[in-house]
Structure 1
Amino acid sequence: MVSTRSRSAAPSPLPEVSVSDDGDVRHLHLGTPWIQGSMRMAAPFDLELEYIQRMMAWLLFIDPASVRERHAMQLGLGAGAITKFCHKKLRLCTTAIELNPQVLAVCRAWFKLPPDGPKLRVVLADAGEEIKNPMWQGTVDGLAVDLYDDNAAAPVLDSEAFYADCRALLTEDGSMTVNLFGRGSSFVQSLEKMALAFGEDALWAFKPTREGNTVVLAQRTPTRFKRGEQAERCADVQQRWGLPTARWVRGLRPVRL
């Protein structure tokens, strides 16, 4: 049985945040039945949703021995899955930028999001404005962009200028992953905007999940795998951090526009 667990403390123009439980899996909603994030309660720091797992594909493009020295940033906290995984499993410096204070409160109360500390911080701000702050530029190794409104109709931020600002956040070997999903979104148009900001040879994409989420990866510095290297790196990521990467070997490919 699905049960709603949270209520807003005060009226707000931002979407109402609610939580539902479906067996051992807890979901976060923004005023609609659309699932904005999930957590398996028996494993709160694992990545439950397939597309969220794919958002970690930036790990394939860096030296795994250097991961703990890196910085991950999530735009749009959702249920906090990526932020928790990066903080608890990868043990690296992690930042999330979230507009809605209710989302942060619910993540802390119902989704095991740890409090801020030396290697974890959640910034309550408009992501499109906050990423222009010079303090973040050139500091992010793995940038996860998952910005949707309560209706999950299209990305809230999806312009060439926005993607250029995202590119400016990245270190030289850093990557951005973006979730493209929604009834009103255009995959090709989004890719074209990313290509203008990053360069067409910097883009990679997964095949869509069964739910319709397509994860795109954009590199600050375009690279290509040598023969057999992608399979080796996928196997290493799975061994180190338990991500199910076997399908990434053939599922993640350079974009051809």
Structure 2
Amino acid sequence: MKSKPKAWAPATLSEYDGVRFLHLDSIWVQGAMRIRKPDQLELEYVQRMCAWMLWCDEAALGQGHGVQLGLGAAALTRFTHGALKMRTTAVELNPQVIAACRQWFRLPADDARLTVLNQDAEVWVNDDANLQTVDVLNVDLYDHEAAGPVLDDDAFYAACRGVLAHGGLMTVNLFGRSASFARSALRIARAFGSDQVWSLTPTKEGNTVVVAARGVQVPHREVLEQRAATIESRFKLPARQWLRLVKPLPTSILQAL
């Protein structure tokens, strides 16, 4: 007897003050796009998911392979593919999200630089074919209830490090004011090493972006400041503010390693 097909949370949208929002059968926002400025990163935490650029040499910016685990409203995918001109892969489990992004959120069709996969992110990061093939990995994996990351254990973060090339960078969206943040950050630090993990202070909504690197040499402050100025000039993102918000992991987490 055939098993019943999985019932996916339906993708719905709302609009307010010129912004279109993606929902998954709940009030929680899964992503957003300003209708008249679709290339603009609308949500603050999504902007901060680009903070990896501070640790990236300017000559390498836009080079290599960018991957998003969790499509959301395709904002990061559009940015990586469109603004950065990187080879881009998005991995999304819910086919309704992919369809919604193509219909309502300006996600372009696949091309030579863009591949959108209807696949489980855990399967993707554990596929040996993807080992050390990724230069930038954005992880934003929440279900329709948005209660916490759906993939968040030691094995998952170890696999995320495994797909990164040497010098690769990962950003993860966590809830910084939740008790789960310390557990998640500790797991990331175990996988990457405490000297390769940083966090930004939480947004007003509580989202905390963690940046983790594989074999990155931390630049001097002057270099980071110059990179931040370049990012602001080229991409109109508040990178100098990000730099003020970056901090090492809390001592309580480091002591638990």
Q: Would the TM-score normalized by the shorter structure come out above 0.5?
A: yes
Q: How many residue pairs end up in the alignment?
A: 247
Corresponding position of 2:247: 253
Map residues 1-257 of structure 1 onto 2, 5 A cutoff. 12-181=6-175, 186-256=180-250, 257=254
Mark the CA change 1:182 to 1:200 in structure 2 (over 3 Å): closer, same or farther.
Answer: closer
Tell me the amino acid that sits aligned with residue 32 of structure 2: S
Tell me the amino acid that sits aligned with residue 66 of structure 1: A
Tell me the amino acid that sits aligned with residue 160 of structure 2: C
Distance 1:212 1:184 in 2: 8
Distance 1:173 1:43 in 2: 32
Tell me the amino acid that sits aligned with residue 220 of structure 1: R
Task: Mark the runs of 5 or more structure 2 residues left unpaired by the alignment.
Answer: none
Other structure's SS at 1:73 match: strand
Contact 2:77/2:90 (8 A) holds in 1: yes
Displacement of 1:59 in angstroms is 1.3
Tell me the amino acid that sits aligned with residue 241 of structure 1: F
For residues 155-191 of structure 1, give each alpha carbon's deviation from its aligned partner in whole angstroms, at most 9, with x where no partner exists.
Answer: 0000010000000111111111000028876111111
Tell me the amino acid that sits aligned with residue 30 of structure 1: L
Distance 1:182 1:60 in 2: 21
Distance 2:240 2:105 in 1: 28
Q: What is the TM-score normalised by the length of structure 2?
A: 0.92
Displacement of 1:23 in angstroms is 2.0
Task: Mark the runs of 5 or more structure 1 residues left unpaired by the alignment.
Answer: 1-10
Displacement of 1:228 in angstroms is 2.0
Contact 1:155/1:185 (8 A) holds in 2: no
Tell me the amino acid that sits aligned with residue 131 of structure 2: Q
Distance 2:178 2:242 in 1: 27
Distance 2:179 2:85 in 1: 34
Distance 2:183 2:72 in 1: 24
Displacement of 1:67 in angstroms is 2.7
Q: What is the TM-score normalised by the length of structure 1?
A: 0.92
Displacement of 1:136 in angstroms is 1.6
Identity of aligned residues (%): 48
Contact 2:170/2:212 (8 A) holds in 1: yes
For residues 120-173 of structure 1, give each alpha carbon's deviation from its aligned partner in whole angstroms, at most 9, with x where no partner exists.
Answer: 010111100111112221111110000001111010000010000000111111
Contact 1:154/1:184 (8 A) holds in 2: no
Tell me the amino acid that sits aligned with residue 73 of structure 1: V
Distance 1:180 1:156 in 2: 11
Tell me the amino acid that sits aligned with residue 65 of structure 1: A
